[in-house]
Structure 1
């Protein structure tokens, strides 16, 4: 970690194949493009539709990009050696809560899996940030997203038994999972 222009500590992780860093406002175009890719790839993974995301303007994408340096939140991106954004994860602490929540998890298909290391590197960095907020990290995953559930379980997350209706289809549920840090 190194300081940014405001003296805040920024997360930066590098490997020969990719680097990981926090997003900043000027990343808004890349944040938008990666979000659209995420929604095309795994529509049930997010509480937003592709059509809704397409309707967002520059101001909204700038707000989302600034989440990388939020006071009680973070947004990370993995960038491959060619400059292509290949993964992202975010976290935030909801108002009136103390447990950080993992959100916006995506890794491009060609970069998935343990050997690629992108998912683990992103999650390691999120967990490092979450430890500054709590000794727990929570997430919600769509009940039909077995690939994501398996990845979370491999990293030590366990289901709590709590569910909540999936915002885009209330006949489906999101499963709550938690990890002790």
Structure 2
């Protein structure tokens, strides 16, 4: 693979912003993301700076954003991993009864799809989650819209399994988000 998979750096906030706005313009965005392009575009530079810092190693927290960087420097994809603890409020869906990671913001540019980038980004994200010290992460989860068959197929292919848990889509309570997870094996 010619792409480098790595965590974002806080100073790269303009690239974090550009990639997210590109994701929000993707035809699958209404099924894949809980915000619209208009909402993302309306965010201030300070918002994007905070977002990049929070997802970077510099931020030192329980969030890490991984990107696929092409040889020419273009960012072709991203995943973000949020650590959820049993004593914290759930960011989305059911609260955690174990220490777990939650994958969000999955996106690969259309022209870069089919090259293994999504798989490599997921590997980086899950490797990071599994590498954290005590208390150890016991599972990695994500949610996928019930009508997003392409994304669900990817998640199943890389080892995620539907748990049977569902939550209503915030913008359309008649639609469901399905939880998928992979349990720690070692």
Interval containing the TM-score (normalised by the shorter chain): 0.7 to 0.9
Partner deviation per Cα, 1:119-169 (whole Å, 9 max, x = no partner): 111111111011124131000111111110000000111111111111222
Q: What are the superposed Cα offsets for residues 57-104 of structure 1, whole Å, 9 maximum, x if unpaired?
A: 001001111112242121011111111110000101235242110111
RCO higher in 1 or 2 (8 Å CA, sep ≥ 6)?
Answer: 2
Aligned mates of 1:169, 1:39 — CA distance in 2? 18
Partner residue of 1:22? 7
What residue in structure 1 maps to residue 69 of structure 2?
A: 79
2:6–2:124 CA contact under 8 A, matched in 1: no
Q: TM-score, normalised by structure 1?
A: 0.86
- Give the conservation status (yes or no) of the 8 Å contact 1:48–1:168: no
Among 56, 77, 86, the alignment partner of 2:43 is: 56
Alignment of 1:1-181 (within 5 A): 15=1, 17-41=2-26, 42-43=28-29, 44-66=31-53, 67-69=55-57, 70-94=60-84, 96=88, 97=96, 98-113=99-114, 116-131=115-130, 132=132, 133-181=136-184
Query: How many Å separate the matches in 1 of 2:22 and 2:111?
Result: 13
**Partner secondary structure for residue 62 of structure 1:** helix
Q: 2 CA distance for matches of 1:168 and 1:26?
A: 33
Counterpart for residue 7 of structure 1: none
TM-score, normalised to structure 2, is 0.84
| Residue segments in structure 2 that go unaligned for 5+ positions in a row | 89-95
- Report the secondary structure of 2:76's partner residue: strand
Moved over 3 A (4+): none
* Unmatched segments (≥5 aa) in structure 1: 1-14
Distance in 1, Cα, partners of 2:49 & 2:137: 28
Question: Pairwise CA RMSD of aligned residues?
Answer: 1.3
